[in-house]
Structure 1
Amino acid sequence: MKIPSRLSYRRSLSPSHGVFTFLNAQEEKIPLPYQEIKIVGQKESAAEAFDKNMDIRKISSWKTLAEGNPQFIEYCHVPYDAKRLLCNFSLTVSANTLKAELCNDDDVAKTIKEFLTVYKKRNGFVYLSERYLRQILSGAWLWRNQDNLSTQITIKTNTNRKVVAKNVHQLRFEQGWEAKLPDWSELVSDFAKALVDPMSYLICEIEAEIIPATCQEVYPSQAFTEKNDNRESSRIFQKTRINGQLSPVIGCYKIGAGISIIDDWFKDAVHPIRVGRYGVEKSTSSSLRTPDTGTDFFTLLTKIESITEALYKDKQLSNEANFIAANLIKGGLFQPGDKK
């Protein structure tokens, strides 16, 4: 299949910001505060003494390395009297893979639709739903905030499901624990149905209830802004207003990234990575799905007819089919273009 000049899909998973609150000794729910503090760090970067080739810089006195490095930063921690830390977000699940948001080639639209139809018959959307829900219930979307004394995660849906997972700060390291939760299979069924049936969209209300250590640091999402002067914080949090008070959040895109760390469908996979066109591994600044290997999304999309045929014949899911379906669920612009 040749990718047309216009091809895009709307995302099927739409998370909100994750809002932090805490419960004090009186069980009152209060927006999580933050503060701007000035710290005096050390000059420890390589650039202080070396150039980009790691040659020693010509500096008049090495005493400058002992000078302080003052910075303004925004800092957030659990208040001393907090008994629980809460983080809440919502997730809307929609059947946006059924039809392209934009496609100027009817044959391509039919080809992708046929793939998705067969993928559905092979219970592919059920499989992906299990993977996404495990990420939610394991607290992957909390990122560094997963490390605490205890975490309980609750999912409530507009279909009257309620699934509660306790001690996920420990269970997340085990396999298959989520399948033992009451109403797990029903939740998976609702999630999968929402991905393929426009009349069955799903809204999930998710809450993480954390027992923190004393004054434990909290890690909201950072906002990347231009630094205008020395008085502006060098680290700024994303925020929202709760009862008129600014409070830091985990951004919706960071939550979405945590939910989509399910791609282990490539050769020699050690652990899952975030679903993406080129299989980017941020920790190593590398791509695990490069075009020269033929495992990137765009290359596989051009082979979607043969992948669909394999689904017909083998009657089981393939790594390539899972990867394509997950990217269609992620949505975005898929058409070719010239990078200038």
Structure 2
Amino acid sequence: MTNKTTLKTASVLAFERKLDPSDALFFSGDWNKREKADHWDPTSIREKSIRGTISNRLNAKNQDPAKLDAAIEKPNLQTVDVATLPNTCDTLMVRFTLRVLGGAGLPSACNNADYQAKLQSVVKGYVEDNGFSELAHRYAVNLANGRFLWRNRIGAEEVEVVIRKLERGQEAQKWIFDSLSLSLRHFDCPESNQEQLAELAEQLELGLLGERHTLFEITAFVRAGAGQEVFPSQELILDKGKSTKSRTLYDVKGVAAIHSQKIGNALRTIDTWYPQDGEQDFGPIAVEPYGSVTTQGSAFRQPKEKVDFYNLLDNWVLKDQKPALDNQHFVMATLVRGGVFGEADK
């Protein structure tokens, strides 16, 4: 057995992600013709120019009535991208594929053989005790409840998610979920969905265990209303150059789409194991080493509290201090997420 007092974290340590989604493309059609969705038209993006008003918070020196009146007289002209359903279509279809890979916990790069051997022993022990059943259940719920739709799910009259397991390009299994019947706040599910979710989670777990090739096609139907705006990913333009456009939306060859990274973020929003402060419940957050939630400007897994990924992993691998079961799930979910986790330079 490796002497744990001499074992050190590898300086080169990287893991490939094991949930590998594609971009999600947008299509438009009629809710009552979902069986013919393969023939629906792509949803496109167009530009729109608008004349806005001054509405930002003013500093003290600009609150003089005369200055404010002068500012309001100046038009706030903007050019933005927008995506909408046609006036003849009431339903958005969002479609992507998801590949599930085995080998979670096996580094794609590691320059310390002793560390890799100990890490694989830790991962093997976790899998023997728990499998990937808890993680797979949570990933399955996030597919079924349509979390990956993001803003498109809000205010929808109906949302249906159809998941097909593909083998050699053909449908092998199929599950259909009423997404609005499933919560985004927890991973309990109504009795009517339990059997289907158990079957889906089993297939996800088999993929994570590497016991079979696992590929899914996920199709979500969102009944939003004819002509309503839909919400692809927004591009981050670092070098705007001469562009005057204030909002640029993502498209794939002219078809509105959501980034694969944003789909992946939604699927791994399963961390309810982070420390909760008082009675405020933020619900599940995405699995990140420090529990980072950029929209709230917070890191829910602080290193000083020893609940971040690096402290938990080092204690588990280097010191044989097995975390509580919830944090074991978190560590394994982070390895499924993938990333570069080598020892930092001193």
Q: TM-score, normalised by structure 1?
A: 0.87
Matched, 1:259 2:267: yes
Describe the superposition over 1:23-74 as per-residue Cα deviations: whole angstroms up to 9, x where unpaired: 259864101022100111122222xx32xxxx43598833233122110000
Matched, 1:141 2:148: yes
Tell me, yes or no, if the aligned pair for 1:118 and 1:308 is still in contact at 8 Å.
no
Q: What is the CA–CA distance in structure 2 between the aligned matches of 1:272 and 1:299, rounded to whole Å?
A: 21
Tell me, yes or no, if the aligned pair for 2:91 and 2:225 is still in contact at 8 Å.
no
Matched, 1:300 2:325: no
Describe the superposition over 1:237-296 as per-residue Cα deviations: whole angstroms up to 9, x where unpaired: 11112xxxx011011000101111111112227211110011012232011111111111
Q: Which moved more, 1:297-306 or 1:34-43?
A: 297-306
Q: What is the CA–CA distance in structure 1 between the aligned matches of 2:138 and 2:68, rounded to whole Å?
A: 54
Match of 1:23 among 9, 19, 29: 29
Match of 1:286 among 284, 298, 301: 298
Q: What is the CA–CA distance in structure 1 between the aligned matches of 2:150 and 2:262, rounded to whole Å?
A: 9
Aligned-residue CA RMSD (Å): 2.4
Q: What is the CA–CA distance in structure 1 between the aligned matches of 2:273 and 2:319, rounded to whole Å?
A: 14
Q: What is the CA–CA distance in structure 2 between the aligned matches of 1:86 and 1:56, rounded to whole Å?
A: 49
Matched, 1:92 2:99: yes
Alignment of 1:16-165 (within 5 A): 16-23=22-29, 28-46=39-57, 49-50=58-59, 55-57=60-62, 61-66=67-72, 67-147=74-154, 148-158=156-166, 160-165=172-177
Tell me, yes or no, if the aligned pair for 1:39 and 1:70 is still in contact at 8 Å.
yes
Q: TM-score, normalised by structure 2?
A: 0.85
Give how far 1:310 is off: 4.3
Q: Which moved more, 1:17-26 or 1:274-283?
A: 17-26
Equivalent residue number for residue 227 of structure 1:
240
Q: Which moved more, 1:185-194 or 1:287-296?
A: 185-194
Gaps of 5+ in 1: 312-316
Give how far 1:99 is off: 2.1
Matched, 1:203 2:215: yes
Gaps of 5+ in 2: 1-6
Equivalent residue number for residue 190 of structure 1:
203
Tell me, yes or no, if the aligned pair for 1:171 and 1:177 is still in contact at 8 Å.
yes
Matched, 1:9 2:21: no
Which amino acid is 2:221 matched to?
E
Equivalent residue number for residue 314 of structure 1:
none
Q: Which moved more, 1:210-219 or 1:321-330?
A: 210-219
Tell me, yes or no, if the aligned pair for 1:124 and 1:322 is still in contact at 8 Å.
no
Q: What is the CA–CA distance in structure 2 between the aligned matches of 1:45 and 1:178, rounded to whole Å?
A: 48
Equivalent residue number for residue 330 of structure 2:
323
Describe the superposition over 1:141-170 as per-residue Cα deviations: whole angstroms up to 9, x where unpaired: 10000121101001111251211102x124
The DSSP-based 3-state class of the residue aligned with 2:270 is strand
Q: What is the CA–CA distance in structure 1 between the aligned matches of 2:106 and 2:345, rounded to whole Å?
A: 26
Identity %: 25
Give how far 1:334 is off: 0.3
Q: What is the CA–CA distance in structure 2 between the aligned matches of 1:221 and 1:176, rounded to whole Å?
A: 29
The DSSP-based 3-state class of the residue aligned with 1:289 is coil
Give how far 1:111 is off: 1.7
The DSSP-based 3-state class of the residue aligned with 2:150 is helix
Q: What is the CA–CA distance in structure 2 between the aligned matches of 1:102 and 1:161, rounded to whole Å?
A: 35
Q: What is the CA–CA distance in structure 2 between the aligned matches of 1:229 and 1:176, rounded to whole Å?
A: 50
Tell me, yes or no, if the aligned pair for 1:98 and 1:196 is still in contact at 8 Å.
no
Q: What is the CA–CA distance in structure 2 between the aligned matches of 1:63 and 1:12, rounded to whole Å?
A: 56
The DSSP-based 3-state class of the residue aligned with 1:122 is helix
